[in-house]
Structure 1
């Protein structure tokens, strides 16, 4: 049973990597934890992120947001060239000091951290948790399958970089063989990204054998073989999908969105356009918040969508519109297509008019589509997306993959895009895709529902810090959830979060600002927020905290 959270003796501090694709699932996990009652949850995010929020971060879960400095307060990762080596180094250097002070400040206020949940992109956080006497939990934001691949790569059981001649690869823990084009792109020979990206992904497993819990943003029923391998190797527990409760079990009041947006969604325009379309007729397309396909790929996707014959809603970020073919937007009739810079994706996927999702296969987008029961056309770009695409097509059987454009240098072709969209929307297998998608949606709801696989893992995790042993229906327990191996002493959950009704701004000196549900500032020993210079307000939708 999920109840409304209060100020409990169990204090969980969650530290996501500062990008929207990592913040959202960690926030949702915090919300799910807080929903169990008697748990205090604090999510630590960077000043730049808080200053970039485009709408109020409010909810009913009492998940707080503590603000710390990553050393790039004004421009975020872009200050140092994006998500790559120099930023990773600055984040560790400045973030270690700031988070250490944040944890010290919580202890001084009488609310010491019981557990610190950290994004594995930040493997230096555990030493801070231990310094302050807190238990430590690792949070893996990618699938069990992708984690299995990286585990083998780190152990030397996979040739890195992986070339075409190395496939097919049969790896313990995976139900299918992987070709070179299916492995995460950072492990591939054709990878052109900064070498620090490969190091980041490999190093997320550093120290996992010494933490108290390992959580994976997936659910057991979706990846049983992979989850069993992760449990046996790392003691990992699945706690997802980390999708707002309204789209799953509906047990958390008012949990209808992530509530944390770094882009402005055009909700009303999208809703009105979709409402005017027949059920299952619309192709929704989006490449997420980071992926940046080249102009050639964008042009081919544009013409492929146009030629498919289905009306389409396409999210093209403002920074990417210059890559559209000249005059393309102008030639779209109202009933042909709508291009927007951002949209409320969960709401769109849940709309009856949507029949297909053309996706870059980022894990958040993929698991949202699975939860909503929407078939997919996979157009992977980089990182784990190639592996996710393989699973979409050959393991979960909820769609097809467009070849080319997956990091190997070949752009997709409009004819291929058109053919794949038609295959999912009206082809011989379209009903099969719909049935399979609906089945996964049902299994996702069950996993997060009361007594489901992920719900039990969450409840068991919390019970260990409430001073009582976990008891429950043993029929719902699997080896991946039981944690009986020598390394399997972790548990956990993930779930659904938004920020809660309070916002805590904690500087690297431990200063705190509490913002109540009405977004009025209540200063607590605040003389300044540590030399913010001209970056002196945090925009939270229309509200501003003036310092």
Structure 2
């Protein structure tokens, strides 16, 4: 009888948008929960939209077939109303929220019911920030919820304050030209932030803006956060964002990162849902790196979403050539004109590359996943942020950590060849300020390692969360 009345084992149901930059950190956290040091066995079920599930597991006989990975995480897809994939140019944005909410609510509720019928009820729902309809489902079903914030804590704090009375000040700062009194904003619990250090959505002032849907979804997200007060798990660590993690005292915010693969080998919790041209050439670029001296190679990648202008591609190519250093460049552009010093691939295993001793710096768009992978490998960065959280990530990399150099852009938002060369030389130099950048990168590698080690601040937070509410 005592066993019949005992609470169910912890069972975390992850609900994640079908974007690679969301799937990867969420899969890694799910795997970490499975292996956390807890008295009871932890179960994890992972749900992405059918379209993403199909790309993650292309060998399944049915696009909605359930599967289990080597870590024991179960994958059951939900529908977001776009089972063949969402394309903004084709589908538009006017009905996106209502369509995803209707399909997602119905299919997620069915997943929860099916799990309960198997004797495996979900005890906590963990969601990422673009599936804004999930909190309502959790509330309706009476299941505690937690949000996994896959961007810096500083970005979460900026958004929170934006939706709590600081929207006008943030918009004025973000849209200023940097030369007036509005070029700096001061938020509760945060250091002053310049206009070019703010996440781009706070600059959106009109529903006609092409990215207004993102701001609108963030508004929904923070409205539900106010109502539900979920635990906020952040892919960061206390030594890096001590102030930002405490800038919203109304909420329980826990650093659980950096949540990155453990080593340079391909991780089972890493997903690439794009075409892997580089798979067939993995041995070639790794063999090429093997021929290069330690810390000599410039690694360049701007993620899976950003499309560079033709002028930026040309300036990048000429700037890399001007350094006289070998470089490995991940680019979907035709780069046949590069010299023998450079190698250009359409895809590579970024973690393996950053772990290679030949890599001396990383020219990056400052996506948070990429930045954390670089931090945990002690690789100095050249920051070339574009939008969303990337300007704030560049601030963390350059101003807070001193582990990178932020590149200046011209009036068209392009990093010119001379500026790229200057930043690369500063990041890779072995004396003066350059030595400081490299030394800081190594110091932050150690701090990140300490946070996730047994007894570290992030490891303790994750273990406490795994025990349940």
Same fold (TM over 0.5): yes
Task: State the 1:93 CA deviation.
Answer: 2.3
The 5 Å alignment of 1:71-470 reads 71-74=81-84, 76-78=85-87, 81=90, 86-159=95-168, 160-161=170-171, 162-164=174-176, 165=180, 166-175=182-191, 177-188=192-203, 193-209=210-226, 210-230=228-248, 232-246=249-263, 256-263=267-274, 264=276, 265-266=278-279, 267-317=282-332, 321=333, 328-333=335-340, 336-404=341-409, 409-426=412-429, 428-464=432-468
Task: State the 1:446 CA deviation.
Answer: 1.2
How far apart are the structure 1 equivalents of 2:92 and 2:156?
Answer: 20
How far apart are the structure 2 equivalents of 1:303 and 1:202?
Answer: 42
Tell me the residue number matched to 2:19. Answer: 19
Stretch moving more, 213-222 or 424-433: 424-433
Q: Does the CA-based 8 Å contact 1:120-1:205 persist in structure 2?
A: no
Provide closer, same or farther for how the CA distance between residues 275 and 357 of structure 1 changes in structure 2, counting only shifts above 3 A.
same
Task: State the 1:156 CA deviation.
Answer: 2.1
Provide closer, same or farther for how the CA distance between residues 92 and 299 of structure 1 changes in structure 2, counting only shifts above 3 A.
farther
Count of aligned residue pairs for this structure pair? 437
How far apart are the structure 2 equivalents of 1:138 and 1:448?
Answer: 20
Q: Any idea what the Cα deviations from partners look like across 1:343-395, whole Å, max 9, x if unmatched?
A: 11111111100010000001111111111111000011111101111221111
Q: Normalization by structure 2: what TM-score?
A: 0.87
Q: Does the CA-based 8 Å contact 1:69-1:94 persist in structure 2?
A: yes
| Runs of at least 4 residues off by over 6 Å | 54-58
Identify which of structures 1 and 2 has the higher relative contact order when contacts are C-alpha pairs closer than 8 Å and 6+ apart: 1
Structure 1 residue matching 2:257: 3-state secondary structure? coil
Q: Any idea what the Cα deviations from partners look like across 1:448-478, whole Å, max 9, x if unmatched?
A: 111111111111112235xxxxxxxxxxxxx
Counting helix residues as a fraction of each chain, which structure ranks higher?
2
CA RMSD between the two structures: 2.4
Q: Normalization by structure 1: what TM-score?
A: 0.75
Q: Does the CA-based 8 Å contact 2:81-2:99 persist in structure 1?
A: yes
Tell me the residue number matched to 1:513. Answer: none
Structure 2 residue matching 1:392: 3-state secondary structure? helix
Task: State the 1:409 CA deviation.
Answer: 4.1
How far apart are the structure 2 equivalents of 1:35 and 1:82?
Answer: 40
Provide closer, same or farther for how the CA distance between residues 13 and 255 of structure 1 changes in structure 2, counting only shifts above 3 A.
farther
Task: State the 1:82 CA deviation.
Answer: 7.9
How far apart are the structure 1 equivalents of 2:324 and 2:103?
Answer: 52
Task: State the 1:136 CA deviation.
Answer: 0.8
